[in-house]
């Protein structure tokens, strides 16, 4: 068994060696994603806008009532849905990337980190597209820009890392069993409704317990508050979850490195 120092050195070496391949895989996946699509980049805009508009319509018609928000509800829900989609793309990224490269993994030996980094590049690219939507929201609703928008990069980055930490952890199992990829949309849909995305964080027990126990909530709420109001109301929770997220990402990376060669040997037998 490798010592921690040798393990860290090996992980760092493979991460550095995979940088060029990761970029090529990213360019290939990006071009393939939009080459075979009739609407192209519009698909990056459509899901958060459609989801947001549905809940705005339901709220305006009093079909549902989530309570009062400190800002106009359309702004609240559109920003929240954008942040939620960033998390779900991060969660699905590792498994999707590694599964697509399964035939390559069996035939060629290369740093496996390249697959993870390339999917990370794709998430960042989609994040830049969502920034355009965010800018449009600010213009339409005349929301003043504050330094909080720049600071929101921190919880957004941690939200991405949280998704990747979970995604990396389930990737080895997802390569072996298709049920994992099939069940992910259902799981994320359930998480959507127990995370204060389209409704204000509940402050009464037992609903408030869902926010406390849900690690996504502090990061999403912090990013949303910084973007919209320029302030953060629960920084201790965000800092705690951020620290745990870094531990999760490292642990998931180790599991990924240890499990993937074993799984490749199994599927190639």
Q: Can you give the pLDDT at residue 51? A: 77
Q: Can you give the pLDDT at residue 104? A: 80
On whether the CB atoms of residues 72 and 141 are closer than 8 A, the answer is yes
What are 111's two structure tokens? Answer: 């740093």
Grouping H, G, I as helix, E, B as strand and the rest as coil, residue 33 is helix
Please tell me the distance from the alpha carbon of residue 267 to that of residue 103, in angstroms, as a whole number.
Answer: 10
Residues 6+ apart with CB under 8 A from 239: none
Query: So where are the chain's domains?
Result: 10-268
On whether the CB atoms of residues 240 and 250 are closer than 8 A, the answer is no
Tens-binned pLDDT, residue by residue, of the chain (269 aa): 456 677 777 878 888 888 888 888 888 887 776 665 555 566 666 677 777 778 777 777 766 767 677 778 888 888 899 999 999 999 998 998 888 888 888 777 778 888 899 999 989 988 888 888 888 888 888 887 788 888 999 999 999 999 999 999 999 888 888 888 888 989 998 898 889 888 888 777 777 777 778 899 999 999 999 988 888 877 888 899 999 999 999 999 989 988 888 888 887 76
CA 166, 90, 30 angle in degrees (round to 5)? 140
Q: Can you give the pLDDT at residue 222? A: 92
With CA atoms as reference, report the closest residue to 10 among 263, 258, 194, 215. Answer: 258
The burial of 223, by beta-carbon neighbours within 10 Å (0-12 exposed, 13-18 middle, 19 or more buried), is given as buried
On whether the CB atoms of residues 148 and 229 are closer than 8 A, the answer is yes
Q: Can you give the pLDDT at residue 108? A: 79
Please tell me the distance from the alpha carbon of residue 121 to that of residue 105, in angstroms, as a whole number.
Answer: 20
Q: Can you give the pLDDT at residue 9? A: 78
Which segments of 195-234 does DSSP mark as H helices, in order? 207-213, 216-228
């Amino acid at each position: 068994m490798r010592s921690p120092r040798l393990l860290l050195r090996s992980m760092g070496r493979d991460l550095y060696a995979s940088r060029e391949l990761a970029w090529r895989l990213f360019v290939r996946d990006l071009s393939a994603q939009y080459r075979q699509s009739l609407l192209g980049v519009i698909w990056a805009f459509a899901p958060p806008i459609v989801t947001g508009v549905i809940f705005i319509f339901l709220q305006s018609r009093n079909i549902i009532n989530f309570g009062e928000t400190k800002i106009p509800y359309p702004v609240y829900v559109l920003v929240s849905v954008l942040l939620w989609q960033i998390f779900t793309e991060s969660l699905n990224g590792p498994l999707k990337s590694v599964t697509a490269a399964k035939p390559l993994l069996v035939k060629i030996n290369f740093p496996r980190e390249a697959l993870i980094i390339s999917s990370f590049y794709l998430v960042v690219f989609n994040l830049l597209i969502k920034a355009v939507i965010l800018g449009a929201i600010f213009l339409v609703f005349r929301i003043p820009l504050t330094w909080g928008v720049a600071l929101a990069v921190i919880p957004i980055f941690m939200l991405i890392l949280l998704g990747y930490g979970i995604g990396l952890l389930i990737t080895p199992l997802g390569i072996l069993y298709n049920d994992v990829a099939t069940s992910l949309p259902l799981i994320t849909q359930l998480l959507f409704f127990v995370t204060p995305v389209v409704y204000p964080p509940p402050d009464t027990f037992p609903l408030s317990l869902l926010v406390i126990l849900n690690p996504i909530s502090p990061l999403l709420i912090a990013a949303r508050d910084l973007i919209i109001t320029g302030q953060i109301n629960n920084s201790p929770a965000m800092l705690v979850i951020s620290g745990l997220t870094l531990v999760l990402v490292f642990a998931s990376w180790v599991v990924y490195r240890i499990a993937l060669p074993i799984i490749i040997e199994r599927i190639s037998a």
